[in-house]
A = this chain, B = another copy of it.
Amino acid sequence: RFLWCFFFYIPDVNSFAARTNTCGELRAAHIGQEVTLCGWIQYQRQGLFLVLRDFQGLTQIIIPQDEAHSHVRKLLSNAPVESVVRVTGIVSSRPPGQENLKMPTGDIEVKVETAEVLNFCKKLPFEIKDFIKKSEALRMQYRYLDLRSSQLQHNLRLRSQVVMRMREYLCNHHGFVDVETPTLFKRTPGGAKEFLVPSREVGKFYSLPQSPQQFKQLLMIGGLDRYFQVARCYRDEGSRPDRQPEFTQIDIEMSFVDQAGIQRLIEGLLQYSWPEERGPITTPFPSMTYEEALADYGTDKPDTRFGMKIMDISDTLRRLDIGFVQNVLSYPHSTAKAICIPRGVEIMDVICRPDGSLKSLLTKFLSEEQQSELIQALNMQVDDVVLLAAGDHKRCSALGSLRLESADLLEAAGMVLRDPAALHFLWVVDFPLFLPKEENPSELESAHHPFTAPHPSDTNLLYSDPTKVRSQHYDLVLNGSEIGGGSIRIHNAEQQRFVLEKVLKEDSEVLSHLLEALEFGAPPHGGIALGLDRLISLIVGSPSIRDVIAFPKSFRGRDLMGNAPDYVTPEELEPYHIHVSWPAAETEAKKN
């Protein structure tokens, strides 16, 4: 059924432009050719030579010293660093011994014949080298200078290529349709994190959606069959670190599919689009239930690149019969859990001594025999540290966090726990469909969103004991970061109405269009969304998503280059029938 032909291509990066080559392109094979290069002066030395830079690399340019070229020499000697020039000259081999093996163009240099300064660069307010070490705020303010760095050039180009490969896979190989959905929509119930956009109708607002969730389901009901979109999404979270008010997700939905279908699709997608420099990835990805993840790692996004799993030592501790521990363990759902930090002595002061005794507050409650039983149960080695916790440990999130903290500390102390090249993809499945509300645990809320379908084995429980219902939600985790999540959706109008009205006790009126759509021949469907910014930052090994976004906002949601958000005049607000509620003090101050 396929007619495939694998092909290689080298994009022509010089087409339509006023150059013959880029600054990263010339090799010994070009020697003797006349070339024209355009770029930025990276470095210039005494009117003798300069290093020209563009997005592809660096080329050494030799400035002619003879009288006939005095004009060229003067021009190039006087142009400050970061000025833009165009030079035409002959590719020559470097004098023997002067080749630079570290430079891809290190075999050659270009002897200038003619040159033109296309734009002079004013003196920079800082040295480029200093700049790199300068505060992030300065780099954000002069983002266009930071973008010239090889790191950001690489990140943005890699991002573009990965997305292009994803599109090829989805569109060309599997018939997905790229459909753009609106970003001016209306508030979703409970959409407290949605930006509002005032309209010209008094009192009416659009809302910038957090995802195209409703639209992609409506597209399935509309028979589109397979949809994807590289979708801009919005979330107003104030100042959470490493979140952006606008972000991008690879948004996918298809009809007549089950959970395994979506998982295989995504594995294929990532395998196809994965950049060669990060090595191949192995599929299928392993899978773990939500229960297992919480029990063993204390989180629903386990970093499985290292051990230090959480151990249940309730039975051992019960046997040891320590008063206050016993007390805790007597409550329902109470357990005692532990993680053993190998060579934890290097980072913490709670240890198993070489003589086999424990250095711990616990020792005063434990006999030597009890100590050795504990050491055995935990399989402790010399210099290991064990962290114990007892209580209602359904979620073990404290030990989960300590596990990650400890790993960071161990690595900071020079130990190797996680191979930086390792790629641990993991599906986390069988999430609960509902969770007790934090502010009122007797009420339920959706663990993800109200459109998630119940697990086929648990459908009946929906009507009898909704707290026990597992869902058909799946998360994709990479090296301990959630990079995607999705679900099979409810396609039955009655079931959707029951979930909204009876379980979640929500006003279904705001979703009446979706409920109605489900009644008019909605196919079974499901989908997923991958967080593109996070995915790319993991691929390039950057700690922050700001390094893979061309113009990111600051922690506070500000654009430091253009100064957004900004004040507007009352006249500009008039068409939208709104005005600003200035705090009393300021209103007062204005009056005076």
A199 within 8 A of B: yes
Name the one of B4, B182, B261, B573 contacting A559, with C-beta atoms under 8 angstroms: B182
A2 touches B12 (CB 8 A): yes
Name the one of B223, B225, B557 contacting A199, with C-beta atoms under 8 angstroms: B557
A572 touches B167 (CB 8 A): no
Q: Which residues of chain B come closer than 8 Å to A152, judged between CB atoms?
A: 222
Q: Which residues of chain B come closer than 8 Å to A183, judged between CB atoms?
A: 183, 232, 246
Q: How far is the CB of A532 from chain B (nearest CB, A)?
A: 9
Please report the C-alpha to C-alpha distance between residue A201 and residue B192 in the assembled complex, in whole angstroms. Answer: 16
A17 touches B256 (CB 8 A): yes
A174 within 8 A of B: yes
Please report the C-alpha to C-alpha distance between residue A518 and residue B159 in the assembled complex, in whole angstroms. Answer: 26
B561 touches A513 (CB 8 A): yes
Count chain B CB atoms within 10 A of each CB in A159, A160, A492 and give the residue with the most.
Answer: A160
A225 touches B13 (CB 8 A): yes
Please report the C-alpha to C-alpha distance between residue A143 and residue B549 in the assembled complex, in whole angstroms. Answer: 35
Q: Restricting to A149-181, which residues have a CB under 8 Å from any CB of B?
A: 152-153, 156-157, 159-161, 163-164, 167, 171-175, 177-181
B19 touches A12 (CB 8 A): no
Once A16-B254, A198-B198 are accepted as A-B contacts, the answer to whether A164 and B153 lie under 8 Å apart by CB is: no
A331 within 8 A of B: no
Name the one of B215, B262, B520, B572 contacting A187, with C-beta atoms under 8 angstroms: B572
Q: Which residues of chain B come closer than 8 Å to A147, judged between CB atoms?
A: 218-219, 222-224
Once A10-B2, A246-B183 are accepted as A-B contacts, the answer to whether A524 and B118 lie under 8 Å apart by CB is: yes
Chain A 113-153, CB-CB to B under 8 Å as 1, else 0, gives: 00000111110100000000000000000111111100011
Once A144-B222, A520-B145 are accepted as A-B contacts, the answer to whether A11 and B179 lie under 8 Å apart by CB is: no
Name the one of B53, B146, B521, B578 contacting A84, with C-beta atoms under 8 angstroms: B521
B180 touches A16 (CB 8 A): no
Please report the C-alpha to C-alpha distance between residue A427 and residue B550 in the assembled complex, in whole angstroms. Answer: 32
A54 touches B562 (CB 8 A): no
Number of interface residues of A (CB under 8 A): 145
A206 within 8 A of B: yes
A387 within 8 A of B: no
A413 within 8 A of B: no
Please report the C-alpha to C-alpha distance between residue A252 and residue B573 in the assembled complex, in whole angstroms. Answer: 32
Once A196-B197, A226-B13, A580-B578 are accepted as A-B contacts, the answer to whether A566 and B186 lie under 8 Å apart by CB is: yes
Please report the C-alpha to C-alpha distance between residue A5 and residue B178 in the assembled complex, in whole angstroms. Answer: 25
Q: Which residues of chain B come closer than 8 Å to A196, judged between CB atoms?
A: 197-198, 568, 572-573, 576
B551 touches A215 (CB 8 A): yes
Q: Which residues of chain B come closer than 8 Å to A86, judged between CB atoms?
A: 256
The chain B residue with its CB closest to the CB of A177 is B160
Q: Which residues of chain B come closer than 8 Å to A524, judged between CB atoms?
A: 18, 84, 118-119
Once A491-B119, A582-B202 are accepted as A-B contacts, the answer to whether A84 and B225 lie under 8 Å apart by CB is: no
A386 within 8 A of B: no
Q: Restricting to A195-254, which residues have a CB under 8 Å from any CB of B?
A: 195-208, 214-215, 218-219, 221-226, 232, 234, 236, 238, 245-246, 248, 254
B222 touches A148 (CB 8 A): yes
Please report the C-alpha to C-alpha distance between residue A218 and residue B141 in the assembled complex, in whole angstroms. Answer: 12
A16 touches B264 (CB 8 A): yes
Q: Which residues of chain B come closer than 8 Å to A200, judged between CB atoms?
A: 236, 238, 557
Please report the C-alpha to C-alpha distance between residue A551 and residue B212 in the assembled complex, in whole angstroms. Answer: 12
Q: Which residues of chain B come closer than 8 Å to A146, judged between CB atoms?
A: 222
A9 within 8 A of B: yes
Count chain B CB atoms within 10 A of each CB in A5, A16, A521, A568 and give the residue with the most.
Answer: A521
B566 touches A521 (CB 8 A): no
Q: Which residues of chain B come closer than 8 Å to A518, judged between CB atoms?
A: 119
B182 touches A246 (CB 8 A): yes
A279 within 8 A of B: no
Q: Which residues of chain B come closer than 8 Å to A179, judged between CB atoms?
A: 156, 160, 550
Chain A 548-562, CB-CB to B under 8 Å as 1, else 0, gives: 011101000101011
Please report the C-alpha to C-alpha distance between residue A205 and residue B201 in the assembled complex, in whole angstroms. Answer: 19
A204 touches B553 (CB 8 A): no
B160 touches A119 (CB 8 A): no
B562 touches A513 (CB 8 A): yes
13 contacts between A and B (CB under 8 A): A12-B174, A15-B174, A18-B258, A38-B255, A54-B225, A144-B517, A164-B167, A195-B206, A196-B572, A197-B565, A202-B586, A513-B562, A578-B581
Known: A143-B222, A185-B564, A195-B198. 11 other contacts (CB 8 A): A38-B255, A38-B256, A148-B222, A180-B248, A184-B246, A199-B565, A200-B236, A203-B582, A204-B567, A578-B579, A578-B581
